[in-house]
């Protein structure tokens, strides 16, 4: 399966695709014209047939003349080109305000016979990012906020947090403070966005997303680093040592609960891919970390004898792997130490 997400015009303009789009769009226009799928009023303004409008539940699509490659025209040509290129699953990721637009594009493409059986075309809609006051997130001057500025601010705040915590503990500032700040800050912004149901608006808050408490990236990154510290102390930094007991014993309720969360990752990932809802993966990783905390609180790991010690260390190792892999699927890095 090849996933072809919808890209903005800025991205497309940097690729060879857009340069070749004009003739493709013109050819598509001519095919529709010959098929009678649109009719002209003045030769320039084109509307869609009533059945397309009913299917789309909207106003007529603004198809334009072949020398103007814009709007619906561009997206229809791009859709046809991607399917002819072998795509069998097209996910157009754009804000919910574009829903009617894509309903029309998909309806016309299906009527024209360009979407074969077995090919999925979907608009993956998402809500708005709001400021603390509940309005659309903007700068003080009213401009749109640039992502690079949000990431820069998050990294700066993460750096300040690491430095302040070291000073409070009367410890030296870590040599890798810049790397820690980058991983934590960027991860916090990504996770804050992906952990929300994409169909809903959400309020952007640096304080909340950088917190070490609750369903945040720093919380999960810290949980991972803490588990890795335990594994290093036990001599398991590179995996199960030779001669360690291999059986995993789930004698305590907390052990069984953690194991059930760990084996569920595959099903969660499949559901996320089918429904385009990454927040479900975020919720699962948070549940894993909560189950691990309960396990660690009630089940001593390093202070028990073999083979129970190796059994519980194995649960720690799989938990760390699950957190690392799950965060990697979200595009978020982890750290061995924080």
Report if residue 139 sits inside a domain. no
Indicate if the pLDDT at residue 21 is higher than 70.
no
Bridge-based pairing of strands 39-40 and 120-126 is unpaired
Report how far residue 43's alpha carbon sits from residue 74's, in angstroms, rounded to the nearest whole number.
18
Report if residue 64 sits inside a domain. yes
In this prediction, residue 59 carries a pLDDT of 39
Report if residue 34 sits inside a domain. yes
Cβ neighbours of residue 302 closer than 8 Å, sequence gap 6 or more:
230, 233, 234, 309
In this prediction, residue 69 carries a pLDDT of 39
pLDDT tens sequence across 264-286: 999 999 999 999 999 999 999 99
Residues 65 and 191 occupy one common structural domain: no
Nearest Cα neighbor of 256 from 225, 298, 214, 226 is 298
Cβ neighbours of residue 2 closer than 8 Å, sequence gap 6 or more:
86, 87, 88, 89
Residues 312 and 198 occupy one common structural domain: yes
pLDDT tens sequence across 40-80: 444 334 444 334 433 433 433 444 444 333 567 678 888 98
What is the domain-level CATH number for residue 119? Answer: 3.40.50.620
- The average pLDDT across 292-321 equals 96
Report how far residue 285's alpha carbon sits from residue 39's, in angstroms, rounded to the nearest whole number.
53
Indicate if the pLDDT at residue 317 is higher than 90.
yes
Residues 257 and 324 occupy one common structural domain: yes
- The average pLDDT across 79-95 equals 92
In this prediction, residue 62 carries a pLDDT of 41
Tokens 């300040």: give the residue: 160
In this prediction, residue 77 carries a pLDDT of 80
Domain that holds residue 290: 147-329
b (16+ CB within 10 A) / e for 30-69: eebeeeebbeeeeeeebbbbeebbebbebebbebbbbeeb
What is the domain-level CATH number for residue 272? Answer: 1.10.730.10
Residues 256 and 185 occupy one common structural domain: yes
Mean pLDDT for all residues in the chain: 83
Residues 47 and 11 occupy one common structural domain: yes
Residues 16 and 95 occupy one common structural domain: yes
For residue 146, count other CB atoms closer than 10 A to its CB.
10
Q: What is the 3-state secondary structure (H, E, C) of the chain?
A: CCEEECCCHHHHCCCHHHHCHHHHHHHHHHHHHHHCCCEECCCCCEECCHHHHHHHCCCCCCECCCCCCCHHHHHHHHHHHHHHCCCCEEEEEEEHHHHHHHHHHHHHHHHCCCCCCCCEEEEEEECCEECCCCCECECCCCCECCHHHHHHHHHHHHHHHHHHHHHHCCCCCCCCHHHHHHHHHHHHHHHHHHCCCCCCCEECCHHHHCCCCCCCHHHHHHHHHHHHHHHHHCCCCCCCCCCCCCCCCCCCHHHHHHHHHHHCHHHHHHHHHHHCCCHHHHHHHHHHHHHHHHHHHHCCCCCCCCCHHHHHHHHHHHHHHHHHHHHHHCCCCCCCCC
- The average pLDDT across 6-12 equals 38
Tokens 């009367």: give the residue: 170
Indicate if the pLDDT at residue 259 is higher than 60.
yes
- The average pLDDT across 208-222 equals 95
Report if residue 32 sits inside a domain. yes
Residues 161 and 112 occupy one common structural domain: no
pTM of the model: 0.79
Report if residue 78 sits inside a domain. yes
Report how far residue 144's alpha carbon sits from residue 255's, in angstroms, rounded to the nearest whole number.
48
Report if residue 111 sits inside a domain. yes
What is the number of domains present in the chain?
2
Q: Which two tokens stand for residue 180?
A: 């820690």
Residues 231 and 170 occupy one common structural domain: yes
pLDDT tens sequence across 105-134: 898 888 878 899 999 999 999 998 888 777
- Cis link prior to 307 (omega < 30° from 0)? yes
pLDDT tens sequence across 175-211: 999 999 999 999 999 999 999 999 999 998 999 999 9
pLDDT tens sequence across 159-175: 999 999 999 999 999 89
Residues 121 and 164 occupy one common structural domain: no
Helix axes 279-298 and 308-329, enclosed angle (nearest 10):
160
Q: Which two tokens stand for residue 324?
A: 């690392």
Indicate if the pLDDT at residue 305 is higher than 90.
yes
Domain boundary among 126, 160, 195: 126
Report if residue 133 sits inside a domain. no
Task: Give the pLDDT band (50/70/90) at residue 19.
Answer: low
Residues 242 and 302 occupy one common structural domain: yes
Residues 96 and 187 occupy one common structural domain: no
Residues 162 and 270 occupy one common structural domain: yes
């Amino acid at each position: 399966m090849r996933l072809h997400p919808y890209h903005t015009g800025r991205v497309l303009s940097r690729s060879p695709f857009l340069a070749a789009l004009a003739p493709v769009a013109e050819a598509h226009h001519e095919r529709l014209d010959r098929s009678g799928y649109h009719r002209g009023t003045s030769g320039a303004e084109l509307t869609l047939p009533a059945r397309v409008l009913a299917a789309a539940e909207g106003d007529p699509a603004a198809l334009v003349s072949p020398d103007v490659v814009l709007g619906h025209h561009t997206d229809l040509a791009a859709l046809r080109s991607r399917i002819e290129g072998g795509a069998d699953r097209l996910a157009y990721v754009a804000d919910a305000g574009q829903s009617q637009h894509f309903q029309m594009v998909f309806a016309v493409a299906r009527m024209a016979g360009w979407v074969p059986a077995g090919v999925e075309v979907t608009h993956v809609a998402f809500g708005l990012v709001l400021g603390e006051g509940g309005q659309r997130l903007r700068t003080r001057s009213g401009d749109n906020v640039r992502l690079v500025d949000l990431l820069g601010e998050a990294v700066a705040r993460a750096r300040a947090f690491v430095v302040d915590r070291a000073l409070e503990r009367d410890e030296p500032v870590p040599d890798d403070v810049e790397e820690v700040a980058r991983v934590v800050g960027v991860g916090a912004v990504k996770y804050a966005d992906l952990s929300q149901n994409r169909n809903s608006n959400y309020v952007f808050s640096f304080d909340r997303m950088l917190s070490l408490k609750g369903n945040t990236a720093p919380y999960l990154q810290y949980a991972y680093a803490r588990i890795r510290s335990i594994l290093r102390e036990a001599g398991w930094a590179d995996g199960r040592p030779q001669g360690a007991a291999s059986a995993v014993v789930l004698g305590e309720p907390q052990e069984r609960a953690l194991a059930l969360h760990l084996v569920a990752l595959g099903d969660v990932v499949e559901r996320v891919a089918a429904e385009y809802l990454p927040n479900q993966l975020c919720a699962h990783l948070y549940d894993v970390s909560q189950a691990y905390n309960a396990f660690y609180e009630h089940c001593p790991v390093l202070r028990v004898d073999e083979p129970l010690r190796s059994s519980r260390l194995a649960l720690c190792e799989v938990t760390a792997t699950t957190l690392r892999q799950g965060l990697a699927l979200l595009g978020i890095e982890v750290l061995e130490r924080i």
